Structure 1
Amino acid sequence: MNILFIADPLASFKIYKDTTFAMMREAQKRGHTVSACLQQDLMWQRGAAVMADVRDITLTGDAVNWFDETGTRPVALKDFGAVLMRKDPPFDSEYFYATHLLEQAERDGAKVFNKPRALRDHPEKLAIMEFPQFIGPTLVTRSAADIKRFHAEHQDIILKPLDGMGGTGIFRVRPDGMNLGSIIETLNKNGAESVMVQKFLPEIVKGDKRVLVIGGKPVPFSLARIPQGSEVRGNLAAGGLGVAQPLSKRDFEIAEALGPILAARGLLLAGIDVIGDCVTEINVTSPTCFQEIHDQMGFDVAAMFVDALEAALTA
């Protein structure tokens, strides 16, 4: 089977930790062939199938020059055994348009994972609204007055933009309310953009856990991303320390409740972020942490993912 990965530039991969690389490596190990393209390589013209300029690649096993490639060639997405959308956030207008091209490719007969409509329907911050039983006190608003009221009620809060990634744009405001007005103005652009506000969860000191769900089933280990020093963010991109650990009873409860629902909607892979006992985000664009869990716990997450991919294609 030939698998197409729509991803960021291959030269930008940090292969010692990159999840898309782990997927490629496992696919090639099983005898599948691997191709890659960028989101901007997608193209559609009336009367034809959705196409992409793709490169066929072979993983070399070398830590530096980690792949060999052919030149680009135009291929219809429907001609691949599977198409994996692994473009990193942000979920901007171009990503949105790409999901429509991928949905047209599905009409052509392509098998796309995660399903394009499901990507659009599950913005990573707002997807938690459907599951209030698993989240902490949360507010989504443009209103400065609403945010100040929420702060007065909960005292210690986190504010974040709806389109942020990797911990960017996250602020903590403590009971003294220091700089709250300025932070609101920065995030909501003077009322032009919505902001998510959540009660601060002190359990963050034990980590922001990434709980992976593959084919509706939980990976039995999470990666707890633990803030370092005076930092409030546990994101690895913000300097957090990643510590793999077995899922807690509550983690399993959350994953087993959400997993089948997400899978039924075409989300083969999702990353549920959990602080303490509360879900804070549901990541569906390009969830990570495969290699960290494998390296620390010995559990082969990439193998579980490719098992689920192969099963989905024969279902």
Structure 2
Amino acid sequence: MGKNGLWNEDHFGFDLLKVDEIAMPSLKIAVQMDPLEQVNPKGDSTFALMLEAQARGHTLYEYHVNSLRYETHPESKGFALLCQARQVQVFREGAQHEGAQHAQFSPYETLDLGQTDVVLMRQDPPFDMGYISATYMLERIHGIGEGKTLIVNNPRAVRDAPEKLVAMNFPALMPPTLVTWSSEAIKAFRAEHGDIILKPLYGNGGVGIFRLSAQDENLSSLLEFYFSTSREPLMVQRFVPAVKAGDKRIILVDGEVAGAINRMPQEGEIRSNMHVGGVAQPIGLTERDKEICTAIGPFLKREGLIFVGIDVIGEWLTEINVTSPTGIQELDRFNHTNTAALVWQAIESKFPS
């Protein structure tokens, strides 16, 4: 059990310290995110991370990815990664502030991200060329030590770990899976496995996911439509009936388990994403869950993927979410924990006290 008395046996690998029990560096933090005014402060994981950072004495800025600019300076043989950012204070609830009920902003200013301590890369997918371009820019300043900025998660690892593809590093943990442009290969996969799930490889939030039974006559038409409108391959997986009992989101921090929630699909749905009406429920970890986390934890830690959410249906790992994982506010409400504090404890440990 941690010193705050909150962690149960499913929360292993951590000893969460209270803020006033540890000597923390004061960090300058920039959050690359979607408009803060539009987030739900009672459910948004980025908002929870910002609240905790502020409580720990750090300075917060927020900016949007489309304000990034990368400049070279031949006279100094250097470069700068700049953005238009606002210093911000965040508030849990109940206060009225100019611009949003849950945030108060300073005027926009030009911020040199290379002069910050931490950048949280938290804008939502899709994982497209815009997203990839941002990782290339941020990678130029990423690192630990003088003159470097810690990017969370590591932009190279994010770029190399598209959420559906990276799970395929662990084939023994996944249901039978196919990634292809070939309609014939997909049809053969369904003939072998029966019910299947089709997913856009770089989609998010449950958008564009279809279940097709062995008898469904729409497969050819659906594939024709998809491949006529997209140059990307599809991911196909054997349907896992256990999804009717929920899709488990397990949060890992620096490779260690922080906890899990179960996302139940609505009646008549196979998608459990909360963006499409899935309902979060408390849940513990099974031995299989722990086996999966033990297998992938060292990889996440080695790659600098500090804040990760994995999806487990029944006995099977289906996705490893590294771009902008969610679920920590629901997790903390069920378990009376502070997952954002774990994330910041892991980040702060990278800096000398």
- TM-score normalised over the length of structure 1: 0.96
> Residue type matched to 2:329 in 1?
Q
Distance 2:185 2:302 in 1: 35
Partner of 2:296: 258
Alignment of 1:110-149 (within 5 A): 110-149=149-188
After TM superposition, the structure 1 stretch with the greater mean CA deviation from structure 2, 298-307 or 181-190, is 181-190
- Check the 8 A contact 1:144/1:191 in 2, yes or no: no
Corresponding residue of 2:103 = 67
Q: Does 1:271 align with 2:302?
A: no
Q: Distance in 2 between matches of 1:99 and 1:192?
A: 22
Q: Partners of 1:244 and 1:277 in 2: how far apart?
A: 18
Contact 1:114 1:266 in 2 (8 A): yes
* Corresponding residue number in structure 1 for 2:285: 247
AA matched with 1:240 = G
* Structure 2 residue identity aligned to 1:300: N
Deviations 1:63-86 (A, max 9, x none): 461111111111211211211100
TM-score under structure 2 length normalisation: 0.86
Letter in 2 for 1:247: L
User: What is the letter of the counterpart of residue 169 of structure 2?
Assistant: E
Deviation at 1:314, TM superposition (A): 3.7
1:83-131 C-alpha deviation (Å, 9 max, x unpaired): 1100111011111110111011227622111111001100011111110
DSSP 3-state at the match of 2:43: coil
Aligned mates of 1:61, 1:210 — CA distance in 2: 24
Residue 11 of structure 1 is matched in structure 2 by: 37
Is the Cα contact below 8 Å between 1:160 and 1:187 reproduced in 2?
no
Counterpart AA for 1:10? L
Further displaced range: 139-148 or 173-182: 173-182
Residue from 108, 114, 133 that aligns with 1:97: 133
Show the counterpart of 1:203: 242
CA distance in structure 1 between the partners assigned to 2:125 and 2:39 by the alignment: 15
Give the C-alpha shift of residue 253 in structure 1.
1.1
Q: Deviations over 1:155-207 (max 9, x none)?
A: 11101111111000001011213311112223333784311100000010111
Q: Who wins on radius of gyration, i.e. which is larger?
A: 2
1:23-54, Cα deviation, whole Å (9 max, x unpaired): 00001111111111011121111113211111
User: What runs of 5+ residues in structure 1 fail to find an aligned partner?
Assistant: none
1:45 to 58, 67, 71: 71
Given candidates 214, 218, 235, the residue that maps to 1:179 is: 218
User: Which residue of 250, 253, 267 corresponds with 1:229?
Assistant: 267
For 2:254 and 2:232, the matched residues in 1 are separated by 34
Residue type at the aligned position of 1:73: E
Tell me which residue corresponds to 1:194: 233
Relative to structure 1, the CA distance from residue 61 to residue 168 in structure 2 (aligned partners, 3 Å threshold; closer, same or farther) is: closer
Tell me if the contact between 1:187 and 1:193 (Cα under 8 Å) persists in the aligned partners: no
Q: 2-side partners of 1:69 and 1:76: how far apart?
A: 18
Q: C-alpha distance in 1, partners of 2:350/2:226?
A: 40
- Between stretches 62-71 and 256-265, larger displacement belongs to 62-71
Q: Which amino acid aligns with 2:57?
A: G
Q: Which amino acid aligns with 2:93?
A: D
CA contact (8 A) 1:245 1:297 kept: no
In structure 2, which of residues 20, 27, 52 is the aligned counterpart of residue 26 of structure 1?
52
Query: Going by fraction, where is helix more abundant, 1 or 2?
Result: 1
- Identity of aligned pairs, percent? 41
Aligned Cα root-mean-square deviation (Å)? 1.5
Cα deviations by residue, 1:117-148 (Å, 9 ceiling, x for unpaired) = 00110001111111001001001111111111
Give the AA of the match of 1:171.
F
Aligned residues: 314
